[in-house]
Amino acid sequence: KVLLNSQVYELKQSDIDVTVTTTDGRSYKAKYLIMAIPLPLQMKLHYDPPLPPLRNQLIQRTPVGCVIKANVYYKKPFWRAKGFNGFLACRDGQLVLGNVLDDCRDNLPLAAVTVFVFADHAIKMQGLSKEERMKIIAQDLAKAYGCDEGLQPVHYEEKNWLGEQYSGGCYVSTYPPGVLSRYGRTIRKPFNLVYFGGTETATSWPGYMNGAVQAGERAAREVLHALGHISYSSIWKEEPEIKEVPAKPFQLSFIERHPPSFRTIISFIGLSTVGCISATCFLLYRYLYKP
Stretch that binds ligand FAD, among 80-88, 93-101, 117-125, 162-170 (CB under 6 A): 162-170
DSSP per residue over the chain, as a string?
A: -PPSS--EEEEEE-SS-EEEEETTS-EEEES-EEE-S-GGGGGGSEEESPPPHHHHHHTTS-PBP-EEEEEEEESS-HHHHTT--S-EE--SSSSS-SEEEE---TT-SSEEEEEEEEHHHHHHGGGS-HHHHHHHHHHHHHHHHT-GGGG--SEEEEEEGGG-TTT-SSS-B---TTHHHHHGGGTT--BTTEEE-SGGG-SSSTTSHHHHHHHHHHHHHHHHHHTTSS-HHHHTSSSPPPPP---------HHHHSPPPHHHHHHHHHHHHHHHHHHHHHHHHHHH---
How far is residue 57 CA from its own chain's centroid? 18
For residue 8, state whether it binds ligand FAD (rule: CB under 6 A): yes
Q: Find the binding residues for ligand FAD in span 53-92 (CB under 6 A).
A: 69
Give least dist CB 198 to ligand FAD, A.
4
Work out whether 166 is an interface residue with ligand FAD (CB under 6 A).
Answer: yes
Q: Among 9, 7, 22, 13, which residue's Cα sits nearest to residue 48?
A: 13
Minimum distance from residue 142 beta carbon to ligand FAD (Å): 24
167 binds ligand FAD (CB under 6 A): yes
**Which residues in the 34-53 window bind ligand FAD by CB under 6 A?**
36-38, 41, 44
Nearest approach, Cβ of residue 116 and ligand FAD (Å): 7
Contact call for residue 7 and ligand FAD (CB under 6 A) = yes
Binding mask 191-220 for ligand FAD (x = CB under 6 A): -------xx-------xxxx-x--------
Return the range that interacts with ligand FAD (CB under 6 A); candidates 117-125, 141-149, 167-175, 281-289. Answer: 167-175
Is position 172 an interface residue for ligand FAD (rule: CB under 6 A)?
Answer: yes
What is the smallest separation between the CB atom of 209 and ligand FAD, expressed in angstroms? 4
99 binds ligand FAD (CB under 6 A): no
170 lies in the binding site for ligand FAD (CB under 6 A): yes
CB of 207 to ligand FAD, least distance (A): 5
Residue ranges that bind ligand FAD, judged by CB under 6 A: 7-8, 36-38, 41, 44, 69, 161, 166-167, 170-172, 198-199, 207-210, 212
